[in-house]
Structure 1
Amino acid sequence: MRTSHSAAGGDWAPLHRAGAVSAAAAVCLYVAALVLVTVMDAPPESGGAAMLEYVDAHRTGYIARQLLWTVPNLFLMVVFLALAVALRGHGRGLAAAAGLIAITSWAVGLAWPTSGDGSLSMVLLSDRYADAAAVGERASLVAGAELLDALNDVPAVIGVLQTLGLLLVSLLMLRGTFPRGLAWLGVATGVVGIAAEALRPVLGGAYAVYGVLLFVWLGWVTVALWGLAGSVAEPRTRD
């Protein structure tokens, strides 16, 4: 008698667990960001100078918000890598393509200058604005702040690609490995997310629908990946 790991491969169990932990961590960070948004004074709706003064007055909280919106990108890269590996049995090419789009888009999101709720670059501009004495120098800093503020509302290709990656992974989930309910929730989240990212400037508060769906999907993914890790790690016996 001898033992061997399941077809999914026991060697992938640590990655699936890492994906589960990463999904949970991303949700926790997003929730923390929402809490900060709720408890902090709202930023000015317009005006570069007003925004720079706001950031200077709420420096610590503002930095924390930007990090809480941005750091989850790192965790989501791990989540989609784990999902792509778990789904490779349903088509290696499709799993690789879906995983590549998702992972790359979340990675590139780290380099995007805004988070959708602000920008870490705004902190640097605010510090320079507070130290600047010349009117001309302050004017250029205000212009930079207004540009960053405008970028927060611009539909970004990166955001659309992130939701497209989620949609493709979820469509592949329909072939098996994960619960069909999770797969269909992912499809709905991907479709709503693509529309939300493309129409962000006109949606206003309705954009939050995509966020809620994403949180629920990631929570379910946490449970599903952890369970999958346990199942692939269990040895089976054969002659």
Structure 2
Amino acid sequence: MKPGASAGPDLSWQPLYRIGGYAALVFVVLVLVPVALVFAAPLPPTQGRAVLEYIAANRAVYLVELVSFVGLAVPALLVFGALAVALSRVNKALAAVGGLFGIVSETIALALGSSPQSLHGGLVVLADSYAVAGTDAERAGLIAAAEALIAATNAVSWGGILTAAGILVLSLVMWQGLFGRALAVVGLFAGVLGVVSEALRPLIGPAYLVYGLLLPLWFAWVGWKLLKIGAANRAPAP
């Protein structure tokens, strides 16, 4: 069968499509929660001493942001898996590659347990130690450790690049058929912009937010499409 020749997705996978659709909605919620918290507390700073003092003063907000940004990798795994299966009848090879990129990227994000917004679980431990440190030498060592963690967290992320690459490849499949050209265009733009933004993240500063805003839009749109497929009536057996 040629790529794009199939009329639609394999409906025997409808439960997976529904799971992927709901997972996409969870992803969007986990993005919106930290955004809403910006109004409750300032963004985490990017310097060692400042971030340790910030965590001490805004511990609950910081933990919610950390859990949200790192935890969104879990629903993203399900979305990439469901989307790859849904697109497999359009182009099996590209759908598999795009799904693999996405799944591997989110696995890396979970393994690292960090996010590019100066969020890392290790900083919470360092902040606790900093609060009870008795000497300037102890505090200096903790600040140095915090700065090292922040530098690693905000550096170029191969996981982030793979996420954008997965979106790009899967959107190329959408362009060939299924899910509509409009979503394909958004995904292609988000994928290209994401690869560039992740590769140049230490240099572009706030411009990274453009890609950050496109991500929840793409996931929400994909989730809606997956839910529609998951709820479609299956053709009766001949």
Decide: shared fold, TM above 0.5. yes
Displacement, 1:127?
0.7
Q: Which residue number in structure 1 is paired with residue 181 of structure 2?
A: 180
Q: Which residue number in structure 2 is paired with residue 72 of structure 1?
A: 72
Q: Which residue number in structure 2 is paired with residue 237 of structure 1?
A: 236
The gaps in structure 2 that reach 5 residues or longer are: 1-6
Q: Is the 8 A contact 1:22 1:79 kept in 2?
A: yes
Q: Report the number of matched residues.
A: 231
Q: Which residue number in structure 2 is paired with residue 40 of structure 1?
A: 41
Are 2:112 and 1:100 aligned?
A: no
Distance 1:216 1:127, change over 3 A: same
Displacement, 1:7?
6.8
Q: Which moved more, 1:151-160 or 1:162-171?
A: 151-160
Displacement, 1:84?
0.4
Distance in 1 (alpha carbons) for counterparts of 2:186 and 2:112: 28
Q: Is the 8 A contact 1:36 1:61 kept in 2?
A: yes
Distance 1:123 1:214, change over 3 A: same
Superposition pairs of residues 152-191 of structure 1, within 5 angstroms:
152-191=153-192
Distance in 1 (alpha carbons) for counterparts of 2:172 and 2:164: 12
Structure 2 counterpart of 1:9, one-letter code: D
Q: Is the 8 A contact 1:114 1:151 kept in 2?
A: no
Distance 1:49 1:8, change over 3 A: closer
Q: 4+ residue runs of structure 1 moved beyond 4 angstroms?
A: none
Q: Is the 8 A contact 1:114 1:152 kept in 2?
A: yes
Q: Which residue number in structure 2 is paired with residue 28 of structure 1?
A: 29
Q: Which moved more, 1:105-114 or 1:164-173?
A: 105-114
TM-score of the aligned structures, taking structure 1 as reference length: 0.90
Distance in 1 (alpha carbons) for counterparts of 2:167 and 2:177: 16
Distance 1:42 1:228, change over 3 A: closer
Q: Is the 8 A contact 1:37 1:65 kept in 2?
A: no
Q: Is the 8 A contact 2:46 2:150 kept in 1?
A: no
Q: Percent identity?
A: 37
Distance in 2 (alpha carbons) for counterparts of 1:69 and 1:45: 17
Distance in 2 (alpha carbons) for counterparts of 1:34 and 1:159: 19
User: Any idea what SS the aligned residue of 2:29 has?
Assistant: helix
Q: Is the 8 A contact 1:114 1:148 kept in 2?
A: no
Distance in 1 (alpha carbons) for counterparts of 2:12 and 2:71: 27
Structure 2 counterpart of 1:175, one-letter code: Q
Report Cα offsets for 1:175-210 as digits up to 9, x if no partner: 212111111110111011111111112222211111
Provide the aligned C-alpha RMSD in A. Answer: 1.8
Structure 2 counterpart of 1:62, one-letter code: Y
Displacement, 1:37?
2.3
Distance in 2 (alpha carbons) for counterparts of 1:150 and 1:238: 58
Report Cα offsets for 1:13-46 as digits up to 9, x if no partner: 1110111111111111101111112320344453
Q: Which residue number in structure 2 is paired with residue 207 of structure 1?
A: 208
Distance in 1 (alpha carbons) for counterparts of 2:218 and 2:143: 39
